[in-house]
Amino acid sequence: MASCVLALGSNLGERAGTLEAAVAELAATDGIELVSVSGTALTKPVGGPAGQPDFLNLVVRVETTLAPLELLAACQAVEQNHLRTREVRWGPRTLDVDVITYGELISDDPVLTLPHPRAAIRGFVLVPWLWMEPDAMLGGTPVAELAAAAEDSADIKHFHDGPLP
CA distance 62 to 83: 23
96-102 and 55-64 as β-strands: parallel, antiparallel, unpaired?
unpaired
According to DSSP, the residues that pair with 63 across neighbouring strands are 3, 33
Q: What is the mean pLDDT of residues 118-124?
A: 95
Q: Across all residues in the chain, what is the average pLDDT?
A: 90
Which among 93, 152, 155, 161 is annotated as catalytic?
Answer: 93
Domain borders along the chain are: 2-158
Q: What is the mean pLDDT of residues 111-134?
A: 96
The yes-or-no answer on residue 93 being catalytic is yes
User: Tens digit of pLDDT for each residue in 56-70?
Assistant: 999 999 999 999 999
User: Tens digit of pLDDT for each residue in 55-110?
Assistant: 999 999 999 999 999 999 999 999 988 866 656 555 677 899 999 999 999 999 99
The yes-or-no answer on residue 98 being catalytic is yes
Which among 54, 61, 86, 96 is annotated as catalytic?
Answer: 96
Ramachandran angles phi, psi of 57, nearest 5°: -130, 150
What single string gives the DSSP state of each residue in the chain?
-EEEEEEEEE-SSSHHHHHHHHHHHHHTSTTEEEEEEPPPEEE---SSSTTPPPEEEEEEEEEE-S-HHHHHHHHHHHHHHTT---SSTT---S-EEEEEEETT--EE-SSSEES-TTGGG-HHHHHHHHHH-TT-EETTEEHHHHHHH-TTGGG-EE--SS---
Percentage of residues of the chain with pLDDT beyond 90: 77
> In this predicted structure, what is the pLDDT of residue 29?
98
Question: Domain 2-158 maps to which CATH number in 3.30.70.560, 3.40.190.80, 3.10.20.340, 3.90.1150.10?
Answer: 3.30.70.560
| Residue 165 confidence (pLDDT) above 70 | no
Q: What is the mean pLDDT of residues 120-145?
A: 97
User: Tens digit of pLDDT for each residue in 24-43?
Assistant: 999 999 999 999 999 999 99
CA distance 95 to 15: 8
Q: Could you tell me the pLDDT band of residue 163, with boundaries at 50, 70 and 90?
A: very low
Q: What is the mean pLDDT of residues 10-17?
A: 92
Which among 15, 61, 98, 122 is annotated as catalytic?
Answer: 98
